[in-house]
Amino acid sequence: MDTETDEHRLAVVGAGVMGVGITTLALLRGLPVLLVDVDEPVLERARDQIAGELRMAQLMGRLAADTATGPLTTATTLAGAADATLVIEATTEDLGVKAKVLAEVSALTRPGTPLVSNTSSIPIDELAGVAQRPGEVVGTHFMNPPYLIRTVEVIRGVRTAEATMESLAATLAALGQEPIVVKDAPGFVTSRVLHPMINDAARIVQEGTAGVEAVDTLMENCLGHRTGPLRTADLIGIDNLVDSLQVLFERTGDEGCRPCDLLLEKVRQGHHGRKSGRGFYTYTH
């Protein structure tokens, strides 16, 4: 085990889309990861997904020839997180769920261990209050998939300590990520801009002004949006998008953040995007 592996031992809590993505990124950089989820079948799927993502990343040249992938350990309890140098909470976009995880992890970890909430919309200071040491709580918003998108939004809460920021910066450097630090607010920068725009794009389809492909093609070819807002919604996960929009609406009162009926209907139908095989588009796995 080399010095960098000794220095960085990550625990990722939550084996959903972003937990899998962040874990894959760390393994590609040769770092050891403990991936925790309460559901063993979810962990089993995650292990298969991570293996597939690692193969894809290697084919795309994202793993250096002289770098071995890091070791992966999975668990259904948080006990192993006590030895982590940094914990990333990547659970669903629900304040209660995230707060419960951070409170439990805070009781386990050594003082000085950054507790990172990977969130797209929930203000970090709302989460910091549940930790034994609020200064250790900081936010990140990794983009999906993290091993292809090197820039990560970092959210500094009003109580986040300078030592926490320095430790997170060192870990992100080891992960090959470029942090952009922003102030704490609902949705921060990316979600506050992007998610209402996706909501509007879905509303245009709902109203019959244009079809899904027409909306995405116009946004891609006329305005330079890389994947189009509705294909992006499928990548984010429409259920996650609705949760994020609800957080934004509750905290800002902005009617543009109230999830439109089409998004809500897709969630009710289980059409969550790429991860479910169907969203605005249909996918084969």
The residues assigned a catalytic role are: 141
Going from the C-alpha of 215 to that of each of 12, 21, 58, 59, 231, the distances in angstroms are 36, 28, 33, 32, 10
Tokens of 166: 């320095």
Among residues 201, 207, 142, the alpha carbon closest in space to that of 175 is found at 142
> Are 50 and 27 spatial neighbours (Cβ–Cβ below 8 Å)?
yes
Q: Which of 87, 88, 74 is nearest to 43 (CA)?
A: 74
Cis peptide leading into residue 145 (ω within 30°): yes
* 8 A C-beta contact, residue 116 and residue 142: no
Rounded to 5 degrees, φ, ψ at 56 are -65, -45
Tokens describing residue 51: 């293996």
